[in-house]
Structure 1
Amino acid sequence: MQKFNSSIFLRFSQGIEFSFYAAIFFEIIYLIKLVGELNLDIIYYLAILVQHVALILIFYIVIKKNISTSVPKYIFIIYFTWLVYNVLNLIRGAYLSNTYLDWRFLVLTSFPFVFLSLVFYIGNNPHYLRRILIKTLKVFLPLSFVFIPLAFYTNKELFSRIVEPVTYLILFIPYLKNKWKYLIISVALVSVFLVVDYRANLIRIFLSFLILSIYYFPKIFNLRLIKVSRVFLFFLPLIIASSALLFNYNVFNELSQNDSLRVTNKHGESENILSDSRTFIYAEVIASVNNSGNWLFGEGASGSYHSDVFYDRGGGTDGVRYASEVNILNLLLHGGLVGVFIHFMLLFSSSKLFIEQSNNRLCVMFGILFSSKWLMSFIEEFTRFGLNFFFFWLLLGFFSTYYLRRKSDDQLKKFLSF
């Protein structure tokens, strides 16, 4: 592991912490503005400014080469391919942009999302990762409860969405002190019961606690079962998609026929929690890509699709929508099948590395969690600058390092003892 001059380390740590807080600030303002309950135009532009300053700081820290890149060469090549491909896609998007809305989406959404991936390099340094975890547990999560009343007044999903990183933190529970364990569990449960119709959050929390069982029941979850589970998580979405395309069998439509599980949604209406809210989005995005014929490389980073359902709502303007709620569809729309394949390879290769080449169960658990990210990309996972992808890239960089994977469980407990 690379040694740092203490003054440089402190200065860079402060820059990284600023970037972390910037992601929190932007996420909160974005989610409140999304529902339009408050006039936050000035604050929103301030949040955008803070966001771009944070990206500049991250870029500065990376080019200063004070970040170790002690990761397997093939993981770095796949990550770097992802980065280069998406930077080229930004350039292509700029070339293809014709309207104000094209440029707005390119600059305010695509650009920050792509360069947020530089946090991967920050995750390569365990000390930076540790500082972020400390700030998350000691500052962010305790203060997050303050936003619960604001969530009821503005965006009911506000609290649940800003604490999405808890789905990663759940796996750290065996390695942390009791007070942090209780905090993480409390935040996770509140995020679920506060908005019970936020199904993607429910699935993520459930999967994280299920994966946590790997640590506590090693005899049940042996290495062979874990490897099979990893492969299953990657093939499950493909099986479901194939059944719909080849046999016209829509599993989501079948589930929606069960009307026994009803909850009150954020609009105060009774809703079937198993209702199908994704098939029509798939149909609209795929139809748009098919009409343009840009299956291989997509529509570019400023690309859009035609939506009748979200004609003038949900981010749509006169039937034009620049992104959907589904990660895999956004990857297909903006980067084509090439972009989808690179994303798949990044998750597939890294999860295999974490499971098969590590000395601790934390890596193994995150191997399964990153496998589940492929499954979740077919359900939700917004492709934008935010805390979810901040932690995604941070932890991907961290768990890819030799430093972390060669540590034992006991050594990790000492490392995470704060």
Structure 2
Amino acid sequence: MNSLKKNILPFLFVFLTMTSITQWSSFPIGNTFTDWTLFLTIMLTFLFQNKYWYDKSNKDNLWALKIYLFWVIICFIRGVFVAEFYWDFKNLINGGFALLMVYSVYTFTNPILVQLVFRKWLQIAFPLFILFILVVDIDAYGFYLIPISFLALFLPIINSKWKLIIVSVSLFVIIASVEARTNVIKFSVPILFSFLFYFRKMLVPKLLAKIQLFVFILPFVLLFLAATGIFNIFKMDEYISTKSNTVRVNSQGMEEDLLGDSRTFLFQEVILSAIKNDYVLFGRTLARGNDSASFGAGAAEELRTFRYERYDNEVGILNVFTWTGIVGVILYFFIFFKAARLAIVYSNSYFLKILGIYVSFRWLTSWIEDFNRFDIMNLFIWIVVGICYSKQFRKMSDQDFKIWMNGIFKRNNKKHSFISYKIPSNTTSLNGK
């Protein structure tokens, strides 16, 4: 494989990082045409470069991903017949790119490629942030710098220089955008998770597997409790008595309560819309959104669709539900669940087990945040999921991960010893997963 073929994906991700913060930029970074061109180029690169990067030994564990992609394509095709206006077709294409991004998991099962992606990002995109900080709102910091949060998961094996840089950047994002709750969570949690490594003798795989199961079931339990009026986690201000002032001024100069409920009404609108229009099971297709009294006026009056709908919401799982129905949500669940279980139970390195817990956490956050868009934030999620599905990654020991991680910060001339490691002997009864 020549140098161009080998390096094109990492460079495309650098461009994607820049276009991902367009909505917060005072300087035009791209438009619909350039964005779609970039998205299509990345997707085609995934498709045609799989022969170089994808190891077919991983195929047995990717059944949920295959079925999910097949279902997304069906929902896309249905959307072609459902779409009526220009905006419907535009939404269909954007939604298609966002959901089909899952296909990248195949490519991200390759340790060498993932290492190259992060190395190029640190070499090019990371220094350029100094320029972008001058033209973007603080809400964009967390999006642009999301790869740093991944590196924070490996703090125990990162050299002192980069450890200081990663922690400093994470604190910078947290402090700069403290009113953006998701940025605070996504940069503080990886640092906290990295400390699990020091408690590995206590937090054994069996315990981590139980924690994983609890985290995956938790959203359904909380949804039931909220629907029955027993307990609503989004209304914490009703359950917590605090003397501190939780109201902050956001980057737009507007007051925002950090404990305020900004999610309950979204769940209500999405679920009631699905029941009313009878698309609970199979979704409304990728061309349509949910009925929305809160946000629908923009589409109905300004875009003149005459439909009070909101195409996508801040809560990722609500978009998956609206576009692909309960069928899509179940398949989405299994993609994350299988990835986390493989990493926690069928891996040599404790860092893979930490990644399994992190994937469980990202499943949980998809019920709170995570816009479904083709951007660096969502691509980052699928990189982590791809690592968990990869037999090559799961064969690596902690020492192999240290060598691999050092190769991100500087070119590593050592042999990639992780390819010779075997799956732990206690998992052989499970068909070499």
Q: TM-score normalized by structure 1?
A: 0.89
Paired AA for residue 275 in structure 1: G
Q: Identify which of 303, 314, 338 aligns with 1:325.
A: 314
Aligned residue pairs, count: 400
Instruction: Name the counterpart of 1:290.
Output: 275
Instruction: Name the counterpart of 1:176.
Output: 158
Matched ranges for 1:6-405 at <5 A: 8=1, 10-32=3-25, 40=28, 43-62=31-50, 65-107=51-93, 109-151=94-136, 155-255=137-237, 258=241, 260=244, 261-312=246-297, 319-405=308-394
Shift of 1:27: 0.6
Structure 1 consecutive aligned stretches of length 4 or more whose deviation exceeds 6 Å? none
Distance 1:367 1:144 in 2: 29
Judging changes above 3 Å, is the alpha-carbon distance between structure 1 residues 114 and 235 closer, same or farther for their aligned structure 2 residues?
closer
Report the 3-state secondary structure (helix = DSSP H, G, I; strand = E; otherwise coil) of the residue aligned with 2:154: helix
Q: Which whole-Å deviations, capped at 9, do the CAs of 1:228-253 have from their partners, x for residues lacking one? A: 22122112212211111124432322
Judging changes above 3 Å, is the alpha-carbon distance between structure 1 residues 67 and 241 closer, same or farther for their aligned structure 2 residues?
same
Point out where structure 2 has 5 or more consecutive residues left out of the alignment.
Answer: 411-433
Report the 3-state secondary structure (helix = DSSP H, G, I; strand = E; otherwise coil) of the residue aligned with 1:263: strand
Q: Is the 8 A contact 2:226 2:232 kept in 1?
A: yes
**Percentage identity across paired residues of the two chains:** 26
- Which moves more between the two structures, 245-254 or 332-341? 245-254
Report the 3-state secondary structure (helix = DSSP H, G, I; strand = E; otherwise coil) of the residue aligned with 1:98: coil
Shift of 1:10: 2.5
Q: Is the 8 A contact 2:181 2:258 kept in 1?
A: yes
Q: Which whole-Å deviations, capped at 9, do the CAs of 1:100-154 have from their partners, x for residues lacking one? A: 11001112x1122133223212212221111011112233223223322322xxx
Judging changes above 3 Å, is the alpha-carbon distance between structure 1 residues 82 and 370 closer, same or farther for their aligned structure 2 residues?
same
Distance 1:246 1:308 in 2: 23
Q: Which whole-Å deviations, capped at 9, do the CAs of 1:326-377 have from their partners, x for residues lacking one? A: 0110011000000000011111111011000111011001000111111101
Distance 1:86 1:150 in 2: 36
Distance 1:171 1:350 in 2: 17
Q: Is the 8 A contact 1:70 1:402 kept in 2?
A: no
Judging changes above 3 Å, is the alpha-carbon distance between structure 1 residues 380 and 256 closer, same or farther for their aligned structure 2 residues?
farther
Q: Is the 8 A contact 1:90 1:300 kept in 2?
A: yes
Q: TM-score normalized by structure 2?
A: 0.86
Q: Which whole-Å deviations, capped at 9, do the CAs of 1:17-58 have from their partners, x for residues lacking one? A: 2321231132122443xxxx56x4974533332332232222
Shift of 1:162: 1.7
Shift of 1:73: 4.2
Paired AA for residue 28 in structure 1: I
Point out where structure 1 has 5 or more consecutive residues left out of the alignment.
Answer: 1-7
Shift of 1:314: 9.8
